[in-house]
Amino acid sequence: MNPLLRRPAHEILPMLSRGELSCRELMEISLDWMSQTEVRIHSFLTQDGERALAKASALDQRRAKGEMPGPLFGLPVAVKDNLATKGLRTTCGSRILEDFVPPYSATVIERLEQGGAVLLGKTNCDEFAMGSSTENSAFFPTRNPWDLERVPGGSSGGSAAAVASGQAFLSLGTDTGGSVRQPASFCGLCGFKPTYGRVSRYGLIAFASSLDQVGTFARNVRDCALLLEVIAGYDPLDSTSLNEPVPPYSRELENNPGSLRIGFAGDWLAMGLTPEVERTFHRALDTLRGLGFAIESISLPHSHYALPTYYLIAPAEASANLARFDGIRYGLRVPGESLKDLYQATRGQGFGAEVKRRIMLGTYALSAGYRDAFYLKAQQVRTLIRRDFEQAFGVVDLIAVPTTPSTAFRLGEKVNDPLAMYMADLFTIPISLAGLPSLSLPMGIEGGLPVGLQLVGPTLAESRILQAAWRFQQATGLHDLVPPPAGALRA
């Protein structure tokens, strides 16, 4: 691997802006490394090397004229394949959209391009973002660069693997119940799910509209802050977008957050946590204490109901959102003798098993006679979960919790056990239900695999989270860890 690909994005960007490194040269290096590693990792569903090289050359020409097009000038980035990209295939990891090419781009894609980033391609994901391992992709599973026999997490596993392997400097994923934070933990990255509404959802192909949020992947906190700064902000095309100013996250990092009070819910540690992750988490709490933060015990009693609550609300919203894929207007169309036959054949062949499972569960939860007992009751519990967090943030500034109950599991280990797979998001789902910002960053290595620490804040507290995470990162140096030089990453 070319050593440039292991440099942080914030170190590469000045080299590009000063002309010490051309955008075209960096793109050629990135594409060459992709060609060596992609056959083993399978991060991408669609590569866009030809257009990426043309864009890189155009950026070099603009720089030669004295222009400086954006804070991500010339940086190779990857994006999850459920974000619409004009003129570039967008599949959501599903056969039903296998050949779909959108006529427009998502707002976050436009902001990336306006910021000078160059898209390498679209990354693999669990079908319609429904999964925790990227094994539910209709095309192929993605492998974890730390251990090719393990999953990278999901549903944004391709985006995480692309950054962890050095194929991309930054990437975008989406997080509904943990789909950015969990892969970040499994792949040793920083993964940020911002406050619901902080980043536009326009052009994100919806799974569960009240939960979906675009998030960021990077190797360190500063790069994560830089990317979030570019994509965040109000969008009139998204009715859920928050009309609030975007702080200069990357420039505020080194501001002293003060003597923060950090809470941890001891009862969460009894929720299926492995001894290795629990041990690493307590070491992380000791580090936070050593940084001058006060660690206080809090209670989040209704979090125990988060998993069943999520798996009523999210599938109910999915059953409505995915009704548009009917073989009539776009996507796969399987002919039938009647309209009913066409619907059945198209959706039967186009959707995978996990998507069908969630559509049926959601349809049942919304059906006559059951809506009040299931869907409305789940919404009431969601309110209780949100109130728990509101009360906790009345006494603490941030909450620390492990990102995942375990390190990355083996490919195939949970694919036939949906409940065991769902449990991988045990510590991320409550935060999603509350719509709060949360960052996962490395807190240690166990058995040769990364373990993630999750820092959670109140609404729009992204700056506070990033500042605390940056201090933790500086104290531990864990952001410098990279996958071992074996398997897919052999130079």
101-139 confidence digits (pLDDT tens): 999 999 999 999 999 999 999 999 999 999 999 999 999
**Spatial CA neighbour of 400 closest among 444, 439, 449:** 439
CA–CA gap between residue 130 and residue 155 (Å, rounded): 6
* pLDDT value at 487 more than 50: no
Confidence of residue 445 (pLDDT cuts 50, 70, 90): very high
pLDDT given at position 268? 87
pLDDT given at position 302? 96
Inter-CA distances, 313 with 235, 321, 361, 412, 449, Å: 25, 12, 10, 27, 32
Task: Specify the amino acid at residue 213.
Answer: Q
Task: Compute the average pLDDT of residues 279-305.
Answer: 97
Question: What are the tens digits of pLDDT across the range 36-71?
Answer: 999 999 999 999 999 999 999 999 999 999 998 899
pLDDT given at position 258? 87
Task: Specify the amino acid at residue 18.
Answer: R
CATH ID of 15-256+471-489, from 3.40.50.1860, 3.90.1150.10, 3.90.1300.10, 3.40.50.620: 3.90.1300.10
pLDDT given at position 69? 80
Is 330 in a helix, a strand, or coil?
coil
Question: What are the tens digits of pLDDT across the range 133-157?
Answer: 999 999 999 999 999 999 999 999 9
Task: Compute the average pLDDT of residues 328-351.
Answer: 95
pLDDT given at position 5? 96
Question: What are the tens digits of pLDDT across the range 377-392?
Answer: 999 999 999 999 999 9
Sign of the CA dihedral 239, 224, 47, 61?
Answer: positive
The β-bridge relationship of strands 438-446 and 170-175 is unpaired
pLDDT given at position 491? 40
Phi first, then psi, for residue 123 (nearest 5°) are -95, 155
Task: Compute the average pLDDT of residues 441-449.
Answer: 97
Task: Compute the average pLDDT of residues 393-407.
Answer: 97
Task: Compute the average pLDDT of residues 311-321.
Answer: 97
Question: What are the tens digits of pLDDT across the range 250-285?
Answer: 999 999 898 999 999 988 887 889 999 999 999 999
pLDDT given at position 362? 97
Instruction: Supply the DSSP symbol for 225.
Output: H
Q: To the nearest 10°, the Cα dihedral for 11, 220, 438, 459?
A: -30
| Residues taking part in catalysis | 80, 155, 179
Domain ranges of the chain: 15-256+471-489, 304-379
CA–CA gap between residue 293 and residue 261 (Å, rounded): 6
Percent of the chain with pLDDT over 70: 99
Task: Compute the average pLDDT of residues 94-102.
Answer: 98
Report residue 487 as tokens: 């398997």
Question: What are the tens digits of pLDDT across the range 345-374?
Answer: 999 999 999 999 999 999 999 999 999 999
pLDDT given at position 271? 81
- What lies within 8 Å, CB to CB, of 414 at 6+ separation is 133, 420, 421, 424
pLDDT given at position 489? 55
CA–CA gap between residue 408 and residue 277 (Å, rounded): 11
DSSP for 195-212?
A: PTTSB--TTB--SSTTT-
Task: Specify the amino acid at residue 255.
Answer: N
Task: Compute the average pLDDT of residues 202-225.
Answer: 98
